[in-house]
Amino acid sequence: MINFNYETDFKIDNEDQITNWIVTVIETEGFKLEEINYVFCDDDYLYKLNVEFLDHETLTDIISFDYTVGKLIQGDIFISVERVKENAQDFNVPFNKELQRVIVHGVLHYCGYKDKSTSEAKLMREKEDYYLEQLA
């Protein structure tokens, strides 16, 4: 089950399409969906989580809490809509495309992909691009 929660004045227009896409990503990666809770929020909301749980005093676009057990995907993904909007402008891409990238980014972390090293980040970006093409 995928749940979309809103802590800011924002709502995804195509929740069913995004849900089906996420399930396809998870299944393609060899996992099974248990539950993912997406929480769309503002910078302040996400900043507080970043300080409290990760001890990072920085703004970020996404924080994911992974409760995956084996191949059963579970977790909470918090996304700052403000940060995604700013990143979309900085990268000169449409807001929806950047939002979709962040949405799938969290799921790919649950599937075991990392992005700390240059090679990990490269593979993560390739996976994001691949799955964004599947949605288009």
Residue list, annotated binding site: 105, 109, 115
Binding-site residues for Zn(2+), please?
A: 105, 109, 115
Q: How far is CA 111 from the centre of its chain?
A: 12
Tell me the one-letter amino acid at 2.
I
The Cα 19–Cα 36 span in angstroms is 10
The DSSP symbol for 14 reads -
The Cα 115–Cα 136 span in angstroms is 24
- Through-space distance between the first and last CA atoms of the chain, rounded to whole angstroms: 22
Q: How far is CA 21 from the centre of its chain?
A: 13
